[in-house]
A and B are shown apart, each in its own frame.
Chain A
Amino acid sequence: MIEFEQPSRRELLTAIGKAGGAVALYQAMTALGHAAPTQFAGPPKLSGARPGASVVVLGSGLAGMVAALELQKAGYKVQILEFQDRPGGRNYTVRGGDVIKETDGTVQKVQFAPGNYLNPGPWRIPFHHQALLHYCSELGVALEPFVQINLNGYIHSDKAYGGVPQRIAEVGVDYKGHVAELLAKAVNKGALDDTVTAEDKARLLEAMRGWGLLDKNMAYTTSLQTSAQRGYDRPPGGGVNGAPTPSQIASLSDTLDPRVWGTVSGFFSRTMQQTMFQPVGGVDMIGKAFARKLAGLIRLNARVTKIAQDDAGVTVDYVDTVTGKASVAKASYCVCTIPLPLLSQIEVQVSAPKQAAIKSLPYHSSCKVGLEMKRRFWEQDEAIFGGHSFTTQPIGEVGYPSTGFFKPGPAVLLGAYAGGANAYTFAAMTPAQRIETALKQGSVFHKQYRQEFSNGVAVAWTKLPWITSCASTWSEDLRREHYQNLVSVDGRIVLAGEHCSYIGAWMEASLLSAIDAITRLHQRALAA
C-alpha cells in the first residue's frame, strides 16, 4: 500500500482537476476545503457574577445545559425551562419501552431488546470537536470508536453497475485507477506541457503509477496487483490451492456516477475523517451527564410562550404541558436556545433586526429508521463491521452498528437516513410505511432483511413537536443579512444553539455558540 504525504496529494489532485475537470476538482475541493479544528480555547473562565444576578435558560439541549453549567460556576443563580419531559434536546437516544409522539398524535413505542438503541439525531463525533470532547472527559462520558469509513460496505446507484451494489473498496480503487490512467495518458500526449514542468511530469507519472496501481504500460487492468486493494475473486490461502485469482475491474464510466465518486471523496470531508467517536451506550449519555450536574435546576414539561424584558429584568411566560397551568419565570438575564422554527412563533421582545433574523432562517430535516434484526447477518454473512452502505434510493444509506461486534442475538441497523426532500416524503408516511420503505429499499443490499427483521422505529424530525426539523440551513446571503443580528446580545437576552454558529448540525456548534454567548452576556452583566 502506497501512502502519500498531504502536499504531494494536493498537487496531484490539482493536476487532476486541470486535466480531468469537475469530477476530479470536486475531490480536490472536499479534501482541501476544511482545514482548521474548531475554535475551542478551553472552557470559559467567567467569575465574579454580580451578587444576586440570575439567568433563565430556555431549552435544555447541550447549548442550554453548558450555558447553565458555566454560569452557575461563575456564581449566577440559574434555572432552565424545558418543553419536553427529558433533558438533552436533539442529544437523544431511543431504547425499548420509549414512546415517540409526533405532532399529529401518532405514537410509536420502541420495542428494541434490552441494550439495543437508536440515535435518531447525533450519532458520531469528529476527533477535532474539541469542546465536546472536553466536556465528555470532564463529565465522565465514555467514548468508543465510531466506524465511519468501512470500505467493505456497499455502494448502490440505479445508474451504475446495472443497479447491482458494489463494495466501496472495488469502486474506489477502480475510480482512482481509471483517473490515474487518463492523467498519465494526458501527460504523455503533452496535454499538460504548459502547466507541469518536465521534472514534475516524470514525478507525476510515477505518482500515477503508484497511486492508480497502473501496469508497465501505464494501464489500469485486472491483475493481482489491483486485487490487492479492491479484493480478489479467490483470496490468497494456504496449501495446495493457496494461489489467489484476481477480481475483474469495472469500467471508468461506472465510477463517474456521482454516488460513486461522491462517496469516495466524502470520506475526506474534515468532519467525516477517522477517528470518529460515539458515547458508549447511546449519544444521550452526554445530555444525561450534563443533566446530572444540573440536578434540581431543570424544569421539564415547561413550554415557553412569551419572552419579555425591561430595565428590571427578563420575564418568561411558560405553560406546564401536563397540567396546562401558566406560570412566569423572572431573572436578570436570559439565554434562549429554543430552535428557530418554534421561537419564530413565540413573542420575543427584542430588536426588529433580531426578530427578522429569527423569522428568516430556514431549517432542513431528515428521517432515521432503526431496524432491529434477529442477528448480525451483515457481520456473519458479509464481513461488514461498522460503517455504511450508500444508495441513490431515498433511504440514503444503511448504517451498521459500531459496537457489539460478534455478539449473538438481535442488533439495530440504521435502515434509513433520508435527507433533502426525502426527509419530508418519509415524514408524510405513517411509521409503518417508513419502516416498510426502509426494508424494501435496504433489501437491495441484504437479501436477509425480510427473514431477519424483528421490529423497527422511524423518527421523522419534521414530526417532532419540540423542533419540527433537524437544523438550520444558512446560506451566504442569509449570513450576510442576519447572522450578526441573530447572535448579538439584545438588552438582557442572548440566543445560543446550533443555529448561532458557522459549524452547522453538530453538537460542537451548540457548545461553542453557548460559550461565546454567555461570555458576552457576562461582560454585559459586569458592565451594567
Chain B
Amino acid sequence: MRRALAFVLLATAGAAAAQSLGDTTSNGSPGAATTSGEQTYREICQACHMAEAQGGTGPGAAPALAANPRLGDPDYVLTRILRGRAGMPAFAELLTAEQTADVANYVRTHFGNAYSTPITTADVKRLAPPPES
C-alpha cells in the first residue's frame, strides 16, 4: 500500500474561508508536503487527467494534457492550475508555490510535451489570485 501524501491547506485564512464554502470542505489536513512534480501529478492530477495524461472520457471529462499545444504557454498552464475552471479545481490554496511550479514543469516536459522554459515560483506568485480572507 502506498503512502498517501498530506497536502497543505495553505493558511489558517484558508481554513476560515473554506468554512464558508459549505459542508463539503471540512478539512484541509495541514502537514509537511514537499513533493516532486511527478508525485503531485500521480497523487492529484491523475484522478482526472488519467495515468498517461490522455484525459478522461464521458461528460465532464478532463481534457488530455498529453501532446497539448496549449501547454506551450506557461501563464496559461499556471492560470488554469491556480484558478481552476468548471471541472478543473482551483489549486491556489491547496498547493504550495513550489508544488505548483513543479507539477506545471512536469506536465510541460512529459507526456509528449517538451516545453523546456522552466516555470518558477516567482511566476506562480505573480499569477496567484489574492488570498481569500
Chain A interface residues toward B at CB < 8 A: 22, 26, 29-30, 33-34, 83, 103-104, 122-124, 158, 258-259, 262, 266, 269, 271, 303, 340-342, 344-346, 358-366, 390, 392-394, 396-397, 417-422, 424-429, 433, 436-437, 440-441, 460, 462-463, 465-471, 473-477, 498, 503-506, 509
Inter-chain contact B85/A362, CB cutoff 8 Å: yes
Contact residues, B53-75 vs A (CB, 8 A): 56-61
Residues of chain B contacted by A429 (CB below 8 angstroms): 4
- Asked whether A358 and B86 contact (CB < 8 A) given A258-B15, A390-B27, A397-B27, the answer is yes
- B129 located at the interface, meaning its Cβ lies under 8 Å from any Cβ of chain A in the complex: yes
Contact of B89 among A124, A269, A394, A469 (CB under 8 A): A469
Scoring B24, B44, B46, B58 by chain A CB atoms within 10 A of each residue's CB, the highest score goes to B24
Between-chain CB contacts (< 8 Å), 26 pairs = A33-B20, A258-B30, A271-B23, A362-B83, A362-B90, A363-B84, A363-B89, A364-B90, A392-B6, A418-B27, A418-B29, A419-B28, A420-B29, A420-B94, A421-B94, A421-B95, A425-B5, A428-B47, A462-B47, A468-B61, A468-B87, A470-B24, A473-B89, A476-B132, A504-B20, A504-B21
Contact of A344 among B42, B43, B86 (CB under 8 A): B86
Closest to A427 in B: B47
Bound-state CA distance A362–B48 (Å) is 14
Residues of chain B contacted by A476 (CB below 8 angstroms): 132
Residues of chain B contacted by A441 (CB below 8 angstroms): 4
Contact of B25 among A342, A360, A366, A465 (CB under 8 A): A366
A390-B27, A420-B29, A462-B48 given; 19 more Cβ-contact pairs under 8 Å: A26-B12, A83-B59, A103-B57, A103-B60, A122-B23, A341-B86, A342-B60, A344-B87, A359-B86, A362-B89, A419-B26, A425-B4, A425-B5, A428-B44, A429-B4, A441-B4, A470-B24, A473-B90, A475-B90
Inter-chain contact A269/B28, CB cutoff 8 Å: no
Inter-chain contact B21/A425, CB cutoff 8 Å: no
Bound-state CA distance A435–B48 (Å) is 20
Closest chain B CB from A326 CB (angstroms): 15
Inter-chain contact B27/A428, CB cutoff 8 Å: no
Inter-chain contact B24/A366, CB cutoff 8 Å: yes
Residues of chain A contacted by B19 (CB below 8 angstroms): 30, 266, 269, 271
Contact of A392 among B29, B45, B85 (CB under 8 A): B29
Contact of B15 among A262, A360, A394 (CB under 8 A): A262
Size bin of chain B's contact surface? 35 or more
What 0/1 readout, one digit per residue, does chain B (1-39) give for beta carbons within 8 Å of chain A?
A: 110111111001001101111111111111100000000
Residues of chain B contacted by A103 (CB below 8 angstroms): 56-58, 60-61
Closest chain A CB from B30 CB (angstroms): 6
- B91 located at the interface, meaning its Cβ lies under 8 Å from any Cβ of chain A in the complex: yes
Bound-state CA distance A467–B59 (Å) is 9
Contact of B60 among A26, A418, A467 (CB under 8 A): A467
Bound-state CA distance A513–B43 (Å) is 35
Bound-state CA distance A266–B61 (Å) is 35
Chain B interface residues toward A at CB < 8 A: 1-2, 4-9, 12, 15-16, 18-31, 42-48, 50, 56-61, 83-91, 94-95, 129-130, 132
Inter-chain contact A428/B24, CB cutoff 8 Å: no
Inter-chain contact B84/A473, CB cutoff 8 Å: yes
Inter-chain contact A477/B130, CB cutoff 8 Å: yes
Bound-state CA distance A466–B87 (Å) is 12
Closest to B63 in A: A345
Bound-state CA distance A249–B61 (Å) is 52
Inter-chain contact A437/B4, CB cutoff 8 Å: yes
Scoring A422, A463, A469, A498 by chain B CB atoms within 10 A of each residue's CB, the highest score goes to A422
Inter-chain contact A471/B91, CB cutoff 8 Å: no
Residues of chain A contacted by B85 (CB below 8 angstroms): 344, 359-362
Bound-state CA distance A204–B132 (Å) is 33
Closest chain A CB from B20 CB (angstroms): 6
Residues of chain B contacted by A360 (CB below 8 angstroms): 85-86
Residues of chain B contacted by A34 (CB below 8 angstroms): 20
Inter-chain contact A340/B27, CB cutoff 8 Å: no
- Asked whether A505 and B132 contact (CB < 8 A) given A340-B86, A422-B29, A473-B89, the answer is no
- Asked whether A417 and B61 contact (CB < 8 A) given A392-B31, A463-B47, the answer is no
Residues of chain A contacted by B12 (CB below 8 angstroms): 22, 26, 258, 262
Inter-chain contact B58/A420, CB cutoff 8 Å: no
Residues of chain A contacted by B29 (CB below 8 angstroms): 392-394, 396, 418, 420, 422
Closest to A367 in B: B47
Residues of chain B contacted by A396 (CB below 8 angstroms): 26-27, 29
Sorted nearest first, the 5 A-B pairs with minimum C-beta distance are A362-B84, A504-B22, A505-B22, A396-B27, A341-B87
Residues of chain A contacted by B90 (CB below 8 angstroms): 362, 364, 473, 475
Bound-state CA distance A217–B1 (Å) is 53
Closest chain A CB from B84 CB (angstroms): 3
Bound-state CA distance A366–B47 (Å) is 12
Closest chain A CB from B25 CB (angstroms): 5
Inter-chain contact B27/A417, CB cutoff 8 Å: yes
Residues of chain B contacted by A428 (CB below 8 angstroms): 42-44, 46-47
